Structure 1
Amino acid sequence: MMARAMALSAGLALAGAAFAQGDDVLSAEASDPVTMGWMQGFPPPDDKVIRFTDDDYFAFPKLRWTVCHFRELMPTVAVDNGSVSERDIPVDLDPSIDGVTFTPLGGTGTMTWDEAFDANYTDGILVLHHGRIVHERYAGCLDPTTLHGAMSMTKSLTGLLAEILIADGVLDETALMADIVPELKDSAFADATVRQVMNMTTALDYSEDYSDPDAEVWTYAEAGSPLPKPEGYDGPRSYFEYLQTVENDGIHGDAFAYKTVNADALGWIVARIADQSVADLLSERIWTRIGAEREAYYTVDSIGTPFAGGGFNATLRDMARLGQLMLTEGRWGEQQIVPPAAIRRIAGGGDPKIFAKAGYDTLDGWSYGSMWWISNDDHGAYAARGVHGQTLWIDPAADMVIVRFASNPVAANTANDPTSLPAYRAVADHLMANDPTPLLGAEWRVEDIAGRGVIDSSHVSLKFLADGRLAGSATCNRMIGNYETDDGTITIAVPGATMMACPEALMNQERLFLDLLPTVQGYEIDDTGALILTTEDGSTITARR
């Protein structure tokens, strides 16, 4: 019975279980799965075999092997990456990143980025800056082609899919759950709105306290397990069946409470609206369109339902591609893959006051929305997070993405946040301070054109891309162009723009802007962070991020 319970709970650990570990644990080096000899040989020695039914298959140190091998242990469903050839990510490694120093939260000494790798039991970490790989490192079970469990980062994918459907106009975030999925009419989800589920502000009588043998999590685990049910079992036999049994405990919308069942309920909503599983929808809308190197997959329950709360697996580089898609507000190359409104809603987050009630000491001032974690810092950083150290970190101000796969002995991220969160910010600051291409990155919002300012509420912007392309808004119309820079000089060509008409004052502003751009000769970024473009006759265009 204990073996079965641990096997079930391990499936939920993919989503958020926090199992305590003893203080005397092996180091990252000593617990390396190759060093430990797990599953090596044909067959492996008996004492080195790992099975799904083992009571410790997802306990440290075995979990350091398991995180890369879920597909061998349990049923899964593929997320097709399509037949289009992968799109290479440019590589421009920056060795200086290893030496970046930071002070861990609550600490007094410093640590380097290099030292944090093993301190966090990292399996792989990758940093993108301006869409280029500037740092990449692997260890343990992971290499560039291996798929790793994303754990609760899966929830953020489910939230992204929901936001896409909302932006498409086919999902109403104010709708009651039971109006979309009538099967939930007798559950606590019935009178919750879609948005309340997305922001995890539902009031559910559901405990994920793994120390309590009567906690609802055990019934949930049994329902979602692909293993045969024990003799005499008469409970729910799938995620869908379990969700119909969840009872109410309070008023929806009052407080944030992180509960995995919300993600599976949202996955049901997404599947019902899209008329396809989250795995197929993710493949169709994203995975086949971002040049993913490998097919990804979800673990599934006994009827093949993808685990929308924690079952996703992918390569490190493909997760970085997803992060870059978020950073560019859903644009990949020449295509707008995800509606910008969906990304902006995610980046905007939820209510920090509601989030604060949950008592996350290391996440002061943060919020949670659309199943993403929002830092609300001055960089606008936000993240997808999973147990044992999984992270997809988006920093719009630095134009940076960090993706990390890990197998930390402690599931809860409170164990690695002190040596992770300040490290991410330190690398962002380092890249910004030593950026040889400072024009790249977030959009520049124009605030003055030739000393005339800009019309209130009008949108004039420039976005410089790494391949020499220029995009932006001229006021009424989107524009495309090209640029070249050389030691403070710049030339700009604007070959095209859309042809929408708007009020005369706005059209006049647009014409002035488009007329000035081809005459720009120089640029500087002043001490206040303003970009000043100077034309051949001395006129200027001023923009800020």
Structure 2
Amino acid sequence: MGKYILRTLGSLVLVVVILALIYQTELRQLYNTVHLFDTDRIVTNFSRLKDMAPTKVLFSNDSIRSLNPIPRQLPRSFMYKGEEITIAKWLEDSNTTALVVIQGENLLHEQYLQGTGEFDQRISWSMAKSFLSALFGVAVAEGKVPDLNAAVTDYVPSLVGSGYDGISIKNVLQMSSGVYFNEDYGDFNSDINRFGRIMALGGSFDDFATSLTQDPLHEPGKFMHYVSIDTHVLGMVLRAATGKTIMEYMQEKLWSKLGAESDAYFITDSTGEPMVLGGLNMISRDYARMGMLYRDFGQYNGKQIIEKQWVIDSTTPDAPHLMPGPRANASRTLGYGYQWWLPINPDQEFMAVGIYGQFIFIDRKKDLVIVKNSADRHFMENNFQSTDLSISAFRAISESL
């Protein structure tokens, strides 16, 4: 009897060892995903996603947009709701890893914190959505997507029967698809975390999109509900419309023309499809170069990389439910365009925003771009008060110039 038990245990151990060897990549990725936001790891993790998930590279070229270092002192403090807060405390409290300030072509301030460096390829999270929007604008300008009122299912038949069936491209661009989606990063079973586990364990982002349903409480085109998978659906439309992969199209139409100084990379699913809703990684100065391109209405080096009208449309809310300011049943007060955000009372200001404190802030009136990368685990607390704090700090920096 004892020998039988030993043999059985030995067989079970052997099976476990074999399974661990077969699925060692998935197990490693699952472990990394579970611990991605741990307090003692989050800073390092946000600069080394390429060691934790499958990736694909966007290659820079020799045509780098040069930045002229002209150091300027930041203001010591700024006001928020009647309270004076020092820049140093704001940076520390929001677990900032990088702050880059550019005016015109001049690099006025560059600061790297938490042991990170200038060549760390930092995760964009949802700032990637603004890059995808830019790429989508190229396809519109080329006539690949002639009508934003067309349904996404006209391009992607696999979405027929899903929550995206018959939903217009414009509604998806404006996060007004009416699709139900739980974006709570703190809820293990939320849709966004289910999506993250696809990255860890394998699976298709496309298949995940087809599994979503309409939200009976939110009519398409009437209510802004932030649904990250909307951006992936835009990527599906883009692939169908152009006949090219996202990587091919972005390399050709945007990344090779941006003046980037370093390679970038996307996290992908197990089929090789990039995580366009938040998986882009690059150095902070290249995030700034994207901001400069949009600050300059899509023009760089004498060429119109993104059509001017697309830049304007992308940063101009055109319906009541998208306007900045308090809105019925909305927890956030930021306005929204085509995957770009607008603060309350914008004066030629707009921004790309990513979870955990990623920002590309553009103040066109001051010819200014500010990039802030962070690992802020408290980013969502008090109805995203950290975003309001950062906007106040950005405006103080702008005014000081």
TM-score range, shorter chain: 0.7 to 0.9
- The residue type paired with residue 393 of structure 1 is F
- Deviation, 1:415, is 4.4
316-325 vs 339-348, which moves further? 339-348
Q: Which 4+ runs in 1 deviate beyond 6 A?
A: none
Pick closer, same or farther for the CA change 1:76–1:395 going to 2, 3 Å.
Answer: same
Q: Which has the higher helix share?
A: 2
Matches within 5 A, 1:154-169: 154-169=128-143
- Deviation, 1:404, is 0.8
Partner of 1:423: 393
Matched residue of 1:188: which SS?
Answer: coil
- Deviation, 1:175, is 0.6
- Deviation, 1:213, is 5.8
CA distance in 2, matches of 1:244, 1:256: 20
CA distance in 1, matches of 2:233, 2:143: 20
Question: Would the aligned equivalents of 2:30 and 2:201 in 1 still touch at CA under 8 Å?
Answer: no
Question: Would the aligned equivalents of 1:125 and 1:405 in 2 still touch at CA under 8 Å?
Answer: yes
Q: What do residues 193-250 of structure 1 show as CA deviations (whole Å, max 9, x unaligned)?
A: 000000011111332345656544454344x32425xxxxxxxx30111111211223
CA distance in 1, matches of 2:230, 2:105: 33
Matched residue of 2:201: which SS?
Answer: coil
CA distance in 1, matches of 2:50, 2:221: 37
Partner of 1:202: 177
Question: Would the aligned equivalents of 1:144 and 1:315 in 2 still touch at CA under 8 Å?
Answer: yes
Q: What do residues 268-308 of structure 1 show as CA deviations (whole Å, max 9, x unaligned)?
A: 11122122232332221221112211110110001010001
Question: Would the aligned equivalents of 2:58 and 2:263 in 1 still touch at CA under 8 Å?
Answer: yes
53-62 vs 297-306, which moves further? 53-62
Partner of 2:120: 146
- The residue type paired with residue 175 of structure 2 is M
Question: Would the aligned equivalents of 1:199 and 1:350 in 2 still touch at CA under 8 Å?
Answer: no
Matched residue of 1:208: which SS?
Answer: coil
Matched residue of 1:397: which SS?
Answer: helix
Structure 1 stretches of 5 or more lacking a match?
1-49, 229-236, 432-545
CA distance in 2, matches of 1:164, 1:263: 16
TM-align CA RMSD: 2.1
Matched residue of 2:365: which SS?
Answer: coil
Question: Would the aligned equivalents of 1:279 and 1:297 in 2 still touch at CA under 8 Å?
Answer: no
Q: Computing the radius of gyration over CA atoms, which structure comes out larger, 1 or 2?
A: 1
Question: Would the aligned equivalents of 2:316 and 2:336 in 1 still touch at CA under 8 Å?
Answer: no
Q: What do residues 146-176 of structure 1 show as CA deviations (whole Å, max 9, x unaligned)?
A: 1100111011111221122223322121110
Partner of 1:273: 241
1:238 and 2:204 are equivalent in the alignment: yes
Question: Would the aligned equivalents of 2:66 and 2:105 in 1 still touch at CA under 8 Å?
Answer: no
1:61 and 2:27 are equivalent in the alignment: no
CA distance in 1, matches of 2:212, 2:393: 39
Pick closer, same or farther for the CA change 1:114–1:217 going to 2, 3 Å.
Answer: closer
The count of corresponding residues between Structure 1 and Structure 2 is 365
Identity %: 22
Matched residue of 2:294: which SS?
Answer: helix
Matches within 5 A, 1:105-124: 106=81, 108-124=82-98
Pick closer, same or farther for the CA change 1:331–1:388 going to 2, 3 Å.
Answer: same
CA distance in 1, matches of 2:180, 2:373: 32
Partner of 1:339: 307
1:90 and 2:68 are equivalent in the alignment: yes
1:360 and 2:338 are equivalent in the alignment: no
Pick closer, same or farther for the CA change 1:129–1:219 going to 2, 3 Å.
Answer: closer
Partner of 1:462: none
1:303 and 2:268 are equivalent in the alignment: no
Q: TM-score, normalised by structure 2?
A: 0.85
Pick closer, same or farther for the CA change 1:358–1:309 going to 2, 3 Å.
Answer: farther
Pick closer, same or farther for the CA change 1:103–1:264 going to 2, 3 Å.
Answer: same
- Deviation, 1:348, is 1.3
- The residue type paired with residue 208 of structure 1 is E
The one of the two structures with greater contact order (alpha-carbon pairs below 8 A, sep at least 6) is 2
Partner of 1:501: none
Structure 2 stretches of 5 or more lacking a match?
1-27
- Deviation, 1:346, is 1.2
Pick closer, same or farther for the CA change 1:357–1:60 going to 2, 3 Å.
Answer: farther
CA distance in 1, matches of 2:310, 2:89: 36
Partner of 1:408: 376
Partner of 1:261: 229
CA distance in 2, matches of 1:334, 1:215: 45
331-340 vs 173-182, which moves further? 331-340
